[in-house]
Amino acid sequence: MTATTPRRLLTLTIAALLTAASCGGDDDGASSTAGAPAGGDAPLLERIDADRCEANRAAGTITFATGFDFGAAASILDVVAAEAQGYYDDLCLDVELQPGFSVQNLASLSAGQVQVAGVGSFSEVAKGRTEGAEISAVIVYGKTAVEQLLVEADSDITELADLTTAPMGVKGGMPYSIRAMIAEAGVDEDDIVQIEVDFNPVLLFETEIESLPVYKSNEPRQLDDQGYEYRIFDPADHDVPASFGVIAANDAFAADHPTAMEDFVRATLRGFQFGIDDPEAAVAASLERSDPDLFFSAESEQFRWETERDLVLESTPANEPIGAMDLGRLTAEVENLERLGVIEPGTVDVAEAFDNSFIEAVHDGTDLIWPSE
């Protein structure tokens, strides 16, 4: 896999597909997603390019594992919306969605048990490759950290150096972006007492912990609703290279079925745009699939999606399509992992850990290309 040289351009009938007018001449440059899934007896792609349709069908069932059940997050809601709106069907793709958990997806993805999966960050992809995972990122939505560190509003922790004075609550481990922020402040994370906690952010105010890494799209809303006041340490304010909302593919599958992989990316990005255009409907589609035991609510998921959507849009350079990857940004993220001792220096070829060719092939500039008859 290469990051800068697309594999052979995989196109539909040029006159039919590569038509800028059909990919949304909106004033803001976003691609249009208006209209219902293609009607008629045959899928849209079959009517345009039967050979490509057959190639996509030959890929068989494409199983996608989500990063956190069916929460309305970037790399989940977009796939759910694409499936619900029939975008995969339009392109002769048989996509099956299954709930998963980010770090647990790496092994099944590498083994080919699933073909595509959501992971938390490019850092997870890079670390997985050091452990032998044959996977590559094909979409990176967020070019910033989705995590932040909270302390009580009246806490004695007024700067990062003070973190060593009181326990920190962690959920499975400190996020990479928080670790990098702390390290850049000259704090040794080993000097911080870390206590395992569950996903209830109120524990910050009711237990001995004095700091808590959280997701911007989740815990702050819960605390705001209950009237708790807090202060924030944000990796983005410390220029920490980070990412979130990543979709990775099994390398062998992507190589064996390039048109299917390209069209999966195409339909998924259209699903993201649907989430922008009609967020209520997109969130409702995620809620319909969510595990009721996880207590997702319409309010929490609307907040999750709107927060992550805005982070994606704000962190995407104006001259890049949503989801595009940049070697320099991702190299900086991996270099942080090396400084933290998460991976050994030189063990990850960053350019081999992502494949931008699919993103490039489905865009005309920043406009998503969608087939038209």
CATH for 184: 3.40.190.10
Predicted pLDDT of residue 373: 73
Is 3 within the bounds of a domain? Answer: no
List pLDDT tens digits, range 251-277.
999 999 999 999 999 999 999 999 999
| Assigned domain for 226 exists | yes
pLDDT in tens, 210-220: 999 999 999 99
Answer yes or no: is 5 within a domain. no
Same domain, residue pair 175 and 315: no
| 307 in the same domain as 173 | no
- Tell whether 8 is covered by a domain: no
Which residue among 191, 206, 238 closes a domain?
Answer: 238
Instruction: Indicate the pTM of the whole model.
Output: 0.89
Q: Which of 201, 221, 238 is the last residue of a domain?
A: 238
- Contact 17/9 with Cβ under 8 angstroms? no
- Quote the pLDDT of residue 295: 75
Sequence-distant (≥ 6) Cβ neighbours of residue 139 within 8 angstroms: 75, 245, 246, 247, 265, 268, 269, 323, 325, 359
Statement to judge: residues 157 and 139 lie in one domain: no
Give the model's pLDDT for residue 143: 98
Domain end point (choices 238, 255, 280): 238
For residues 249 and 117, state if they share a domain.
yes
Task: Enumerate residues 6+ apart whose C-beta is below 8 A from 346.
Answer: none
Q: How many CB atoms lie within 10 A of CB 113?
A: 13
Within a domain: 7: no
Strand order in the sheet with 230-233: 212-215, 147-152, 230-233
Q: How many domains does the chain divide into?
A: 2
Question: Residue 173 sits in which domain range?
Answer: 147-238
Q: DSSP code of 70?
A: B
Q: Mean pLDDT per 10-residue run, the chain (373 residues)?
A: 35 38 38 42 94 98 96 97 98 97 91 96 96 97 98 98 98 93 95 95 97 97 97 96 98 98 98 98 96 86 98 97 98 96 95 98 98 85
Q: Which residues pair with 70 in a beta bridge?
A: 68
Q: Domain for residue 122, yes or no?
A: yes
Q: Are residues 302 and 270 both part of a single domain? A: yes
